[in-house]
Amino acid sequence: MAIRFVLWVLISATTGIVLSFLLAVIKGWNNRKRAVGFFHPYTNDGGGGERVLWCAVKAIQEENPNLDCVIYTGDHDASPESLMSRAIDRFGVKLLQPPQVVHLYKRKWIEEGTYPRFTMVGQSFGSVYLSWEALCKYTPLIYIDTSGYAFTYPLARMFGCKVFCYTHYPTISSDMVSRVLQRDPMYNNDPLIARSIWLSRCKVIYYTFFSWMYGFVGSCAHLAMVNSSWTQAHIVKLWRIPKHTKRIYPPCDTSGLQVLPLERPVNTPTIISVAQFRPEKAHTLQLEAFSVAIRKLDPDSPRPKLQFVGSCRNKEDDERLQKLKDKAIELKVEKDVEFYKNLMYSRDLVRLLGGAIAGMHSMIDEHFGISIVEYMAAGAIPIAHNSAGPKMDIVLEEDGQQTGILASNVEEYADAILQLLRMSEAERLEMAAAARKRASRFSEQRFYDDFKAAISPILSHSSK
């Protein structure tokens, strides 16, 4: 009798949950607004993803002014006016009108710290819960994910939305699986797991299962826009919707930076590093390479300066920045290194870029690398990691002329720094000019043109 009662309670509860879910979906479907909803829970991350968000909003506003643009954000201080101001202050993107804002209060479910183990699965299913909150509050005709939360796509389709996405980086890739198989310790492969053959095999099984799930949910997108050749190859392999996958290079402020003079001060050669203070950006490698280069520098050569410029999203990023400052002291280069946090783009960052002879970037498998293009457009020769976007799309020869230097470890980065410091002014200007010409391929205007061409057929049909 007791068992029957328990079963009855379970069945009733399950039925109630299913009915509530169906009623919410039907209500959302019937109350869809003539709008485009952008799922971007962090509107203050300050990275290339946020630039894509604002340029995408502007493109929608230009392409179809009759559609409202709505931002789903977990930043509770965000308002239409503050977001419009942020777009122009941080990225130089002037929106036609302020976007509407839908505040989300369940963002903790996508935060990395919420899931000490099985982080990818936890964040992925957490994003579904966050998307549920978003779509129940406001259901648009078109749902655009600009943050890489593919597990939200089936839910958005249930609510009757057309689903677009701009994917910067696949959540899982064959490269990640290979590193686990090779037992390479990295920021996303704990040394404890890397040291154990059995734990590594278990993680490969976990990654394989997650890859299958990621492929299924990703295939629910009506249009998948990707930012590079490397990302496109992985997404096509995983999602298997090649006809609906378009490569659209991210918007880079090439026109505004190309007006900077190529000539730079020679008394104190400056190397700049622009990236969020996140573990995968490998700032410590850059600092160590800079230290090695200084020790190998000719005694009569001018002493260089390294400038770290980036944003901090949270307490963990702030702690990471402090550790970097401590590392500079440990390496005895603190007088040669400067740190800039959360700079205004147009006022401060452009000025720093205009004074740098080179720009460093050291993330492994960087999907694209907007800051690398910005270095090139500004006249700073890039030193980037020999993988993914920098290798396949950006730091390629232009008219037979080298446009930058690719490196893979501390020694190679140090050698690249020394190579640039020992260049004659004429050689540096020649490479910088070629790099600037190469950067024009990734302009903001090209993003607008390609983005509008990709969305226009679906957008015009959906908004009727």
**Domains parsed from the chain with CATH numbers:** 21-251+445-461 (3.40.50.2000), 254-442 (3.40.50.2000)
pLDDT at 7: 57
Beta strands in 58-119 (DSSP E): 68-73, 100-103
- pLDDT(463) > 70: no
167-238-457-47 Cα dihedral, nearest 10 degrees: 0
Q: Higher pLDDT residue, 48 or 187?
A: 48
Window from 126-135, 170-179, 387-396, 434-443 with minimum mean pLDDT: 170-179
CA distances from 9 to 18, 108, 195 (A): 14, 31, 47
Q: pLDDT, tens digit, for every residue of 210-239?
A: 999 999 999 999 999 999 999 999 999 999
Quick: pLDDT tens for 3-36: 665 555 566 556 656 666 677 677 767 778 999 9
Task: Lowest mean pLDDT of 72-81, 161-170, 263-272, name the range.
Answer: 263-272
